[in-house]
Amino acid sequence: MSFLFGGVRGREDPELTAGNRRTRMHYARDVNDQRALADDRTTIRRGRNWTWLVVTVAVMAVLGFAGSRGAEEVPITADCVTPAIAVASSQVTAGQALRYRLTGPDDTAYVVTLDGVPVRGDAGSTVSYTATPAGPSLQLAQCLSPSLLLAAPAGDGPRELALLRLADDGSTRQVAAVTVLVRGTR
């Protein structure tokens, strides 16, 4: 890591250093540069390692900020009594991200289905799913889920995104649903 912080520069060739000094003095005499002729000390070579470090940190900070400005949260009010599901848009293009969010009691397990088929919304590592016979189930934290992503299915037409409550015996009951119109299938 010494190359980053101006460590050992390696061996300098004395003949090359002397040749460079002579050339500098010849140029100074040619243009009558009195300051260069009076100041015949060897110049201090400073590396640009700190400059590169600062530029790299600035670029990483900008990229980190730009990358974190993803899609906004799906608007839904937390309700710890009545389960509900909300989508970012009621119309999506096939294959694009369908963003949705859930609310309801946080002591209950839920399964989300799209046209009756259990699905697993992606929210990174903020949501953990449990495998059940009814499909992947999740529990809400503080009565609200983060925004979940799901690829919109192919095939034009209305699709039903439903929220099922999972009972202790493994049975499910639909507690909320929303219809999404999918377009753009060729």
pLDDT in tens, 16-45: 888 888 888 888 888 988 877 777 666 666
Average pLDDT over residues 58-84: 79
Distances (CA, A) of 33 to 23, 24, 37, 54, 75: 13, 10, 6, 35, 70
Name the residue among 135, 132, 81, 138 with its Cα closest to residue 109. Answer: 138
Strand arrangement, sheet containing 97-103 = 84-87, 97-103, 148-151
Q: What share of the chain has pLDDT > 90, as a percent? A: 20
Most confidently modeled of 73-77, 153-157, 176-180? 176-180
Alpha carbon distance, N-terminus to C-terminus of the chain? 55
Q: What's this model's pTM, rounded to 2 decimal places?
A: 0.60
Tokens at 19, concatenated:
């040749």
Name the residue among 57, 39, 40, 146 with its Cα closest to residue 101. Answer: 146
Going by pLDDT thresholds of 50, 70 and 90, the confidence category of residue 85 is very high
Q: Burial code of 107-126, b = ≥16 C-beta within 10 A, e = fewer? A: eebbbbbbeeebbebebeee
CA distance linking residue 93 with residue 183, whole number of Å: 5
CA distance linking residue 49 with residue 34, whole number of Å: 32
Mean pLDDT of the chain: 83
CA distance linking residue 49 with residue 43, whole number of Å: 18
Average pLDDT over residues 73-82: 86
Going by pLDDT thresholds of 50, 70 and 90, the confidence category of residue 176 is very high
